[in-house]
């Protein structure tokens, strides 16, 4: 998705006829480039079990999701202002812009849910690394059972040892 964003912004920059680079496209390229670097750091963090790299991905993803929420709210307010300012044509403007805004919010909600799920998965792995949970999903623990000693209650001979 980030590569597509870079390609779209680069296409917009190349297609400008006056030679001026649109600021929004330059910002998009910078943010998407940082996103690609953070994604690579996530892969390295998982492979080498570096929990700090996982946490940086979660923080970056949450910040980008909140920023996109701010943009979505801004665009919605601007378009609702356009509908309100159109006067007699407000019904036509509402018919044209309403479905666009609804679709944009549905898409944003879907992406936000996927991002939230990804953050929860990565944060769960971060917690596993922090707490020393090994590959099987259980903390490193060995259970030993000894023969009961005379005079002990049943089950008293079980002991747990952490790895």
pTM: 0.67
pLDDT tens for each residue of 136-159: 655 555 556 666 666 666 655 555
Does residue 40 contact residue 62 with C-beta atoms inside 8 Å? no
Q: How many residues does the chain have?
A: 163
Does residue 129 contact residue 114 with C-beta atoms inside 8 Å? no
Q: Which residue has the higher pLDDT, 144 or 109?
A: 109
pLDDT tens for each residue of 13-47: 777 777 777 777 788 888 888 889 999 999 999 99
């Amino acid at each position: 998705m980030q590569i597509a964003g870079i390609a779209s912004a680069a296409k917009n920059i190349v297609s400008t006829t006056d030679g001026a680079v649109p600021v929004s496209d330059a910002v998009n390229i910078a943010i998407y480039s940082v996103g690609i670097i953070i994604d690579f750091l996530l892969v390295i963090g998982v492979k080498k079990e570096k929990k700090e790299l996982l946490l940086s991905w979660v923080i970056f993803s949450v910040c980008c999701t909140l920023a996109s929420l701010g943009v979505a709210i801004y665009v919605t307010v601007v378009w609702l202002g356009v509908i309100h300012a159109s006067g007699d044509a407000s019904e036509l403007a509402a018919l044209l812009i309403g479905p666009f805004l609804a679709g944009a919010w549905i898409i944003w909600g879907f992406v936000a849910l996927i991002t939230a799920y990804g953050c929860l998965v990565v944060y769960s792995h971060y917690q596993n690394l922090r707490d020393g949970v090994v590959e099987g999903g259980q903390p490193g623990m060995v259970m030993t059972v000894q023969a009961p000693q005379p005079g002990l209650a049943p089950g008293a001979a079980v002991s747990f040892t952490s790895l």
